[in-house]
Amino acid sequence: MIKINKKKIYISHAYGNNDYNLYKADRIVLNLMKRYSDCLFFHPLRACGWCYNDIPYDDGLNYCLDFLSMADEMWVCPGWEDSTGCKGEIKYCNTHGIPIKYLNESYEIKE
């Protein structure tokens, strides 16, 4: 049965114009989709990563934050600590009241 109005989850993952990070984010989202069928997952690397070198960094981050503004929650992947983008997304969530959950190395929600 198709369920509409699923919880919208924005996945925050470090990128740094590194194709391996894009691959990892894709695999994480696929894994999460299989485990949480009641959620709709979105990671901005697919929507915005392709223009990383073609527009100013802040413009790209703001584009991502527009997507984030539509999310019910943000889930943060391991490795975010050194990512300017992830830190900006966390700041945005804290400012706008969007709940944040952190994933462990097995991509399960830390309790």
Note down pLDDT in tens along the chain; length 111 residues: 666 789 999 999 988 888 898 899 999 999 999 999 899 999 887 776 555 666 676 777 788 888 899 999 999 999 999 988 899 999 999 999 999 999 998 888 987
Q: Collapsing DSSP states into helix, strand and coil, what is residue 61?
A: helix
Bridge partners, 102 (sequence order): 76
Token look-up 């990671």 returns 43
Task: Note the pTM of the prediction, 2 decimals.
Answer: 0.88
